[in-house]
Amino acid sequence: MTETLENIVENFSLFDDWEERYRYLIDLGRGLPHMDEALRTDSHLVPGCTSRVWMVAVRRPDGTFQFEADSDAHIVRGLIALLLSAYQGKSAGEILAMDIADIFKTIGLDQHLSPSRRNGFYAMVERIRADSARAE
């Protein structure tokens, strides 16, 4: 994943319509590495997502987090890529202090995702926050 959160937010603003933004979101998801099948277990499933989403958090020795996540849905993979660009390599304190809802609104996803996708997005955010809070 090479896109920074700032680049993603800027790129979203370049598109004139939501069809182009959805394509960009799907392209972000295509760039996400696929998770090893051995990690696609029920214990790694994120509850509250309509699509199947698996997520694993590893706390590095320096206190930052490495996340690995995957989904069986293209748009959800794009949402994962967005979240990973925001949270990857951050400490628990940085993760818990981040206002992802503001970024979500800035991009316009709050108005253009279906309620089930929106709920799934926030379920993933809560999983990331819970995993990092446990390590704090």
Q: Which amino acid is at 77?
A: R
Rounded to whole angstroms, the Cα distance separating 39 from 132 reads: 19
> Cα–Cα distance between 52 and 64 in angstroms, integer?
26
Q: Write down the catalytic residue from 28, 49, 76, 103.
A: 49
- Catalytic residue list contains 49: yes
CA dist 83 and 81 (Å) reads: 5
Element (H, E) at 31: none
pLDDT given at position 108: 87
Q: How confident is the model at residue 136 (pLDDT cuts 50, 70, 90)?
A: low
DSSP structural state of residue 47: T
% the chain with pLDDT above 90: 75
- Arithmetic mean of pLDDT over the chain: 92
Query: Per-residue pLDDT tens for 54-88?
Result: 999 999 999 999 999 999 999 999 999 999 999 99
Confidence bin at 49 (pLDDT 50/70/90) = confident
Which structural domains are found in the chain, ordered by start?
A: 5-135 (3.90.1010.10)
Q: Between residues 68 and 16, which one has the greater pLDDT?
A: 68
- Quote the CA–CA distance of 48 and 78 in Å, as a whole number: 17
